Chain A
């Protein structure tokens, strides 16, 4: 464990631990999908569990530095950021490709009438 990690999170770190009984595992479907993608890519050998933990830890530190509360409520945003980062580092997909694909999905949603399945062109 590194010392700077504790210092950078000193403000939130000293707050009480927020707990809720019976909280759902995921609040939105994309959270479950992001985590499942990360685990599946590990199982497919795209990266190791250690590389994943390091990427996730680094994503959390970057978010803290940018003012994220890091109180657990934003955890899946960190998972997604770590996943996007590793996919780029491992040259599976570039930042440009990810952005272009996201734009293609926005386009697909905007031209698909409500109630019809949304598909990429």
Chain B
């Protein structure tokens, strides 16, 4: 809407209302605080607005759980890669040239018929960004952050994952220094699938450990 239309609409309310309405709309309080930070940090040469925009674009469109799914599918089809992933995940993931230089140390934990792994960050929201992108809202919520530790079996049930009694659950608390990636079990009946087809089966939730990978 151009200023004239907007002003005209309220003309009968008098000059004050008119004057008020043709202003640019005032952003919300947090948006103004972010503008304050960004402009100050830019002046100090600590951030480059273009780099900020580029970072957002990469996370919105190019980095996400598809990266992690490729890692998992490769580990399922290439035993040597799986060994490298489990012994040094940061390096093994580095082989696959993903975007984003997070410099994060990542540890891969393998699900087996006896052990199921579940990842949480009890403090805040630490997460393997380079392979999973940004965490879902529930991962950052107080119920998940505390209940994953207090009642992991109950949490899994809420996600529709029921494990037999004998399966041991290990909960991994992520930190700024160590982030975890779950290597889920390859579902039965997928022997003939290609690496690409397998990657399509791997979900974000299965790599956090709240779900299993299902056969197609």
Which chain A residues have a beta carbon within 8 Å of chain B's beta carbons? Answer: 1, 5-6, 9-10, 12-20, 23, 25-26, 28-30, 32-37, 39-41, 43-44, 46, 48-50, 52-54, 56-57, 60, 64, 69-73, 75-78, 80, 83-84, 87, 92-93, 97-98, 101-102, 104-106, 109-116, 118, 120
A44 touches B146 (CB 8 A): no
Size of the B side of the interface (Cβ < 8 Å), in residues, is 64
Stretch at the interface among B23-31, B75-83, B186-194: B23-31
Report which of B3, B47, B123 forms a contact with A40, defined as CB distance below 8 A: B47
Complex Cα distance, B25 from A110, in Å, reads 8
What does the 1/0 interface line of B50-83 toward A look like (CB < 8 Å)? 0110011001100000000000000000000000
Report which of B21, B28, B56, B176 forms a contact with A48, defined as CB distance below 8 A: B176
A17 contact set on B, CB distance < 8 A: 138, 141, 143-144, 147, 155, 158-159
What does the 1/0 interface line of B5-29 toward A look like (CB < 8 Å)? 0100000000000000111111110
Complex Cα distance, B150 from A13, in Å, reads 10
Report which of B27, B40, B146 forms a contact with A6, defined as CB distance below 8 A: B146
Complex Cα distance, B175 from A12, in Å, reads 22
Question: What are 25 pairs between A and B in contact, CB < 8 Å?
Answer: A1-B123, A1-B149, A6-B149, A6-B150, A14-B143, A17-B141, A17-B143, A17-B144, A17-B155, A18-B138, A29-B31, A36-B55, A41-B41, A44-B47, A49-B104, A49-B176, A50-B177, A54-B176, A56-B125, A75-B140, A75-B141, A92-B41, A93-B37, A102-B32, A105-B35
B27 contact set on A, CB distance < 8 A: 30, 105, 109
**Contact A30 B31, CB 8 Å, known A15-B143, A102-B36:** yes
B104 contact set on A, CB distance < 8 A: 49
Q: Let me know if B44 is at the binding interface, CB within 8 A.
A: yes
User: Ordered nearest first, which 4 A-B pairs have the shortest CB separation?
Assistant: A72-B141, A13-B146, A53-B176, A72-B137
